[in-house]
Amino acid sequence: MPATQPADILRACGIPFEASTEALGDVVRLEAAKVADTLAALYESGYDFLVDLFATDTGERIEVTWHVRAFAEHADLYLKALVDYDAAAPSVWHIYPAALYPEREAAELLGMTFTGHPNPKRLLTADGAEPFLRKSVLIRTAKEVRRPS
C-alpha cells in the first residue's frame, strides 16, 4: 500500500500528522493523544495486525512506536508519537489485543502510562525496579554497584 493511502485516511479524520518514507519504511508521526483514533481508522481500512509496540528514550522525551501491518498486502506502517516522561498515551488494546503485554512492558521499562489498559500491572520487573530503558539509568558493572565511586 503506498504511503499516500494511510495519509488519505488520516487527512479524512482531520488528524495532523507527518508522513515520510525512510529506511524503516512508511512512518507517520503524530500526537500521542490522537493515536487511538488513528489506529481505529487504520484498522477499519485493512491494517488488521499489530506487529509490535515499543518505546524508545530519545533523551528528552519518550518516543512510542506502533508497528502495524495490512496482512492482505504485506504492507507495514509505523506510527510514532512523542510522550513526556511519566506522561500518558492512550491504550489501543481494544483495537489490537496484541497490545496488552507490550504496553505493560513499555510502561514499566520507560516510566509512562497507557490510559485505559485493563490490567496495568508490571510485567517483566519486580516492584521497586527503575524504568531502566531510560538513558538516565546507566549500565553498571557489578563492581560499580558494590562500590559507587
Partner 1 sequence: MTDEPRITTPITAEGTTFPGPLPCGLRCIPRGVDELATEHLVLNMGPQHPSTHGVLHILVELDGEEVIAAEASLGYLHRGIEKLAESRRYHQVPTLLDRADYLSGLHSETAWALTVEKLAGIEVPRKASWLRALLMELNRYASHLVWLGTFGMDAGAMAPFLYIMRDREMLLDVIEAITGSRMMFNYVRPGGVAADLPAGVDAKIRAWLDVADTYLDENDALLGGNEIFRLRMKGTGVIDRATALAFGMTGGCLRASGVDYDLRRDVPYCAYPELDFEVPLGVRGDNMDRYDVRVGEMRQCIRLIRQLIDGMPEGEFSGRRSRVLKVPAGECYAAVESPRGELGIHLVSDGGFTPYRMRLRSPAYFNLAVVDEALAGGLIADAIVTLGSLDIVLGEIDR
Residue ranges binding partner 1 (CB under 8 A): 22-25, 48-52, 54, 56-57, 65, 67, 71, 74, 76, 86, 88, 93-98, 100-102, 104, 107-108, 111-113, 115-133, 139, 145-146, 148
Could you tell me the smallest distance in angstroms from the CB atom of residue 31 to partner 1? 19
Q: Which three cell numbers stand for residue 26?
A: 512508511
CA distance linking residue 82 with residue 118, whole number of Å:
23
3-state helix vs strand vs coil in the chain, percent to 5: 30, 30, 40
Residue whose CB is less far from partner 1, 31 or 105: 105
Cα separation of the two ends of the chain: 54
Residue whose CB is less far from partner 1, 11 or 24: 24
